[in-house]
Structure 1
Amino acid sequence: MSIEKMNKDGNYKTFVALFENKVVGFITTVQALSIGDEIGYLHIQGLAVQKELQNKGIGTKLLKYVEEYSKRKGISSIILCSGFKRTDAHAFYEHNGYDKDSYCFDKGL
C-alpha cells in the first residue's frame, strides 16, 4: 500500500505531542479488521518521545489520547508489539494498563 493510499484510506492516524510549538512525541495507529468484530481493533504501530523529555508523562498522554479516540469510534481493543529487548518499554506499557498476552511474529521477504 502506498503512502498516498494509506493517507486516503483514513484508517491510519498519527497524533503528535507539542511542547513550545515543537513536536516532541508521536503515536501512529491503524484501525484494522478483525474476524468476528465489525469495527475491528486499533493497532499502535509506533510511539516515541524525545529522549530528553521521556519520563515526563508525554507517552502516557499520547496513549490516553488514543484510548479516548478509540472509545469515541466504538473500538474496544488496542494492540501493539514491542521487541523482546525493550524491557523499559514493556514496563511503560504495563504501567499504563496493557497486558503481555501474545507474541508478534514477522518474516522478512
Structure 2
Amino acid sequence: MGDLEIRRAVVEDVPAIVALLADDPLGAQRESPDDLTPYLAALGRVDSDPNQHLMVAVRDDRIIGTLQLTIIPGLSRMGANRSIIEGVRIHAEERGSGLGTQLIEWAIDESRRLDCQLVQLTSDISRTDAHRFYERLGFEASHVGFKIRL
C-alpha cells in the first residue's frame, strides 16, 4: 500500500470528490455526479476564500477520502478562531482502515496551526456509526443543530 498524501483539491479531483459525496444513502439523494457544473463553480468559490480548505486523501494516485475545513474568525470566546469540519467522506474500500482518523487528525492539527481554539463538526442524525467514530476521537455531542432549507 502506497504512502498517503493529504493535499488541497484541484479541478481534476472534482469527479472523484463528487462520487465520494454521492456514495451513501443521504448523498445519493442530494448529489448529482452526472452534472459537475455546480461543483466546479463551488470549487472556484472555495479556492478564492483563504478560510476554506477542501482536501483530498490520495494513495497510489487515487482519491480515497475528502473533507472540507472552514476557519471562522469571530468575536465570541474572546475573539477566538474556530474551525468546522464538513463533508467527510471515505471511499467504501477504505472504511475501517484508519483513514478517517488520519483525516480528522489532520484537520485538528491544521486548526491548531491556524490558531483555532475550537474544532466543531456536524453529522446527520441518522449517521450513528459516524457519531461513535467522532466520539472515539474526543468530540462531544454538545449542541443541538438546526437548519432551514432556502
Same fold by TM-score, threshold 0.5 exceeded? Answer: yes
Report if the CA contact (8 A) 2:67-2:87 is conserved. Answer: yes
Q: Which of 18, 40, 58 is residue 58 of structure 2 equivalent to?
A: 18
* Structure 1 consecutive aligned stretches of length 4 or more whose deviation exceeds 4 Å: none
RMSD in angstroms over aligned alpha carbons? 1.5
Alignment of 1:49-68 (within 5 A): 49-68=90-109
Which residue of the partner structure matches residue 72 of structure 2?
32
Which residue of the partner structure matches residue 77 of structure 1?
118
Report if the CA contact (8 A) 2:101-2:137 is conserved. Answer: yes
Report if the CA contact (8 A) 2:81-2:115 is conserved. Answer: no
Task: Give the aligned length.
Answer: 108
Stretches of structure 1 lacking an aligned partner (at least 5 in a row): none
Secondary structure of the residue aligned to 1:108 is: coil
Secondary structure of the residue aligned to 1:46 is: strand
Which residue of the partner structure matches residue 16 of structure 2?
none
1:14-57 per-residue CA deviation (whole Å, 9 max, x = no partner) reads 12111211110011111113332434210112100001210100
Instruction: Report the structure, 1 or 2, having the larger strand content.
Output: 1
Q: Provide the TM-score with structure 1 as the length reference.
A: 0.89
Q: Provide the TM-score with structure 2 as the length reference.
A: 0.67
Identity %: 25
Report if the CA contact (8 A) 2:46-2:54 is conserved. Answer: no
Instruction: Report the structure, 1 or 2, having the larger helix content.
Output: 2
Secondary structure of the residue aligned to 2:117 is: coil
